[in-house]
Structure 1
Amino acid sequence: MWVRMSIAATIRERRSIRQFKEDPVPAELIIQWLNDAVWAPNHGLREPWRFIVAERAEARETLADLMVDSLSHLKLVKLIPGKIKQVMKAKISRIPAHLIVVMKVDKDEHKRDEDYAAASCLIQNFQLLAWEQGVGMIWSTTEYIRSPLFCDGVGVRPDERVVGVLHMGYFDKVPKPRPRTPAEQKLTIL
């Protein structure tokens, strides 16, 4: 049984999760979290985001193929044997759900920065909401999110960019926290 905790505790307890149980994360639950996460601050209420969910087996397999194939141009990935790439694809496709957060790319650099910050706030809201209900995730910004193969494959339009892919699922083990630098050590008071 997962216990509801304070906001401060949720922030401090949340971890990036890389190992998931096979239990499905229903699209309805993801939509519920998104409906709360969209309350993230966003300048001028531009709401620059949209979402792509892959939680059905076929969609997860397609997404896994796109992710690995989109990295094929990298020197390190070129050296990986085909059999290992297949193992990577299988591991990715077993992750219960993936949420791709996409944002509109404004021509104005200032608005673009504000929109990216807003989408990042939305992602953090989403992670905390899911964590509160026992679902963990890893926010991926790996190079494949900029690949035309990946973007075309998931339906990202030319005037958009992927902010990140959230790989998510229920989990058995919470990683130990890594230390954080106290704010006072990075604080300047004017």
Structure 2
Amino acid sequence: MIELKKQTELAKLIRERRAVKKGYNNKKVTEETVLQLLNDAVWAPTHGLRQPWRFVFIDSEQKPDFAKKVAATYPEYKQKNREDYLNEPNAILVVIMEEPEIQKAWEENYGATASMIQNLWLLAWEQQLGMVWKTNTHIYDPKVKEILGVLDNEKIVGFIHMGYFDEVPAKKERIQVNEKFSTYHA
């Protein structure tokens, strides 16, 4: 049996972090706050210090126009739903990754970017700023890439919906690690 040690503050933060998908309050998410969080988040592991990410921030003032443009890339019957959906968060941070042609480098870039997003999420949670990493179909749409100025050698990794909240979402249990763990035996 594994002896459990006292839970560290970091372990507690990791376990308490939640995806905040809705229920945002009216507190503004500022560019300054996001930049401050990103300045720490980018210290994620990154092979060869490639730092393959860049960001586009959409604040509450720009969001209605942005939501309308992205929603217009959907079939007409879905546009109102998508526009409302994109207007829910207080702000959106689009995370864009450089896509190398070599698969190994691509996977390293994606792993680094995902690690950076986790750092960002934990740092934001610490400040009671909720977020959720969204990978809706519009992130693959060439028209959305054009709206955001995404280059041919880049990929939208996700839209990070952001907003302050009053109610913490319910905890969802994880599968016990020992159910997904084995030891190699020669």
TM-score exceeds 0.5: yes
RMSD: 1.6
% same residue = 36
Q: Which is worse superposed, 61-70 or 140-149?
A: 61-70
The 3 A distance-change label for structure 1 pair 117 and 71 is: farther
Per-residue CA deviations over 1:26-68 (Å, capped at 9, x if unaligned) read 10010000000000001010110001000141x2123212332
Q: Distance in 2 between matches of 1:62 and 1:116?
A: 29
Mapping of 1:100-139 within 5 angstroms? 100-139=94-133
Q: What is the DSSP-based 3-state SS (H/G/I as helix, E as strand, rest coil) of the residue aligned with 1:70? A: coil
Report the AA paired with residue 165 of structure 1.
F
- Return the offset for 1:110: 0.5
Is 1:55 the counterpart of 2:59 in the alignment?
A: yes
Per-residue CA deviations over 1:82-107 (Å, capped at 9, x if unaligned) read xxx43542452252111001011101
Gaps of 5+ in 1: 73-77
State the partner residue of 2:4.
none
| Structure-1-length-normalised TM-score | 0.87
State the partner residue of 1:75.
none
State the partner residue of 2:154.
160
Mapping of 1:35-114 within 5 angstroms? 35-57=39-61, 59-72=62-75, 79-80=77-78, 85-86=79-80, 88-114=82-108
Per-residue CA deviations over 1:108-159 (Å, capped at 9, x if unaligned) read 1100011001000000100000000000011101110010111100111111
Q: Distance in 1 between matches of 2:108 and 2:69?
A: 29
| Structure-2-length-normalised TM-score | 0.89
Contact 1:22–1:94 (CA under 8 A) maintained in structure 2: no
Contact 1:134–1:170 (CA under 8 A) maintained in structure 2: yes
The 3 A distance-change label for structure 1 pair 87 and 79 is: closer
Is 1:17 the counterpart of 2:20 in the alignment?
A: yes
State the partner residue of 2:38.
34
